[in-house]
Amino acid sequence: MQIVVNGEKKIINEKMSLAELIKELGIDAQRVAVELNRSIIDKADYPKTILKENDSLEIVSFIGGGEIGR
Amino acid sequence: MDDKLIIAGIEFKSRLWVGTGKYKDFEETKKAVEASGADVVTVAVRRVNITDKSKENLLDYIDPKKYKILPNTAGCYTAEDAIRTARLARAAGVSDMVKLEVIGDEKTLFPDNEALLEAAKVLVKEGFIVFPYTNDDPIMAKKLQDIGCAAVMPLAAPIGSGLGIRNPYNLKIILETIKIPVVVDAGVGTASDAAIAMELGCDAVLMNTGIAGAKDPLKMAEAMRYAILAGRLAYKAGRMPMKLYASASSPLEGKIGG
């Protein structure tokens, strides 16, 4: 099934959890925050959050910046 | 000297706060932060690169156990975007603080005060420790204080301009108008600018380009560290009054040929 991660389409297995997806993407869950269809998901809920067709995810982390403003 | 900076119950070890943008790599960022002696480090929130998994994470270099991470909403042009970014930043789990920026114009990067106030109200209610980036406007500073911001962060000059303290008198009026700390944010270009901000009585200075944009960022980081310390000490010492004419510092008594 298809989902959208950070604006990019991605095909994943049915019934995949958010925790499994993050692991597959090679991302350290401790370093990120996740929005699923515009709602923030608590880190503790990643394993029980099962992804569905057309779900839209934003996975963000911290980058260098201070007074960049753009 | 017991001169601690405490904001919202948090003790800050340095009055120099630094940004992490515009460095050539994370290694240089880390070294500059270390040389500056800062313990507050501001970071931006952006999408993780999911196609390039090899990308390193800033927090592998700037240890959140060692530094106070101050996520910012840089690049947000609406209250809604800023609020959303702040919520995501908090969900990452390293800080409840947010340097709230709602930019009004791309050319000047001046804040949109109306949207800033709106976003600040929402975030304060949600329990964030809000540090708003604002104009050097005493009325706005008072409004931000009254809605519960932890400090105000007036600009000294446009972001990244390095023009220094353009309006010291406004900063003075802000300092007299509000009770919460004043952290100068943006515009500092060299060490003397930082010292001036501190001599005025500001509580801290946040800078990024002033260090990262120097020919030798590590040397400038160190210079800024001393400038902040010197400026603060001078403020605490209380400067001598300015006079138009000379006043001899050597006694005239016992002068030869008298």
ipTM given for this complex: 0.89
B101 contacts in chain A (CB < 8 Å):
69
* Tokens representing residue A31 in the block: 């370093």
Contact status, residue B97 vs residue B126, Cβ threshold 8 Å: no
pLDDT at B111 (0 to 100):
95
Point out the least confidently predicted range of A39-53, B27-41, B66-80, B239-253: B239-253
The answer for B 68-87 residues in CB contact with A (under 8 A) is: 69, 71-72, 74-75, 84, 87
Max alpha carbon distance in chain B (Å)? 87
Cβ contacts of A63 within 8 Å, gap of 6 or more: B20, B43, B44, B45, B46, B58
Nearest C-alpha neighbor of B51 from the set A21, A56, A26: A26
pLDDT at A70 (0 to 100):
38
pLDDT at B49 (0 to 100):
84
Rg (CA), chain B: 20
Residue A16 class from Cβ within 10 Å (0-12 exposed, 13-18 middle, 19+ buried)?
middle
Q: Does B26 touch chain A (CB under 8 A)?
A: yes
pLDDT tens figures, B194-242: 999 999 999 999 999 999 999 999 999 999 999 999 999 999 999 999 9
* Tokens representing residue B75 in the block: 């690049």
* Tokens representing residue B138 in the block: 């005493």
> B183-214: buried (b, 16+ CB within 10 Å) or exposed (e) per residue?
bbbbbbbebbbbbbbbbbbbbbbbbbbbbbeb
Beta bridge partners of B182: B152
Residues in chain A: 70
pLDDT at B53 (0 to 100):
65
The CA-atom distances, in angstroms, between A60 and each of A28, B5, B12 are: 11, 31, 27
The answer for B 217-256 residues in CB contact with A (under 8 A) is: none
Cβ contacts of B90 within 8 Å, gap of 6 or more: A33, B71, B96, B98, B128
Strand A2-5 versus strand A56-64 pairing type: parallel
pTM, two decimals, is: 0.91
pLDDT tens figures, B53-83: 666 788 888 889 999 999 999 999 999 999 9
B43 contacts in chain A (CB < 8 Å):
62-66
Contact status, residue A63 vs residue B72, Cβ threshold 8 Å: no
pLDDT at A69 over 70: no
Mean residue pLDDT across chain B: 93
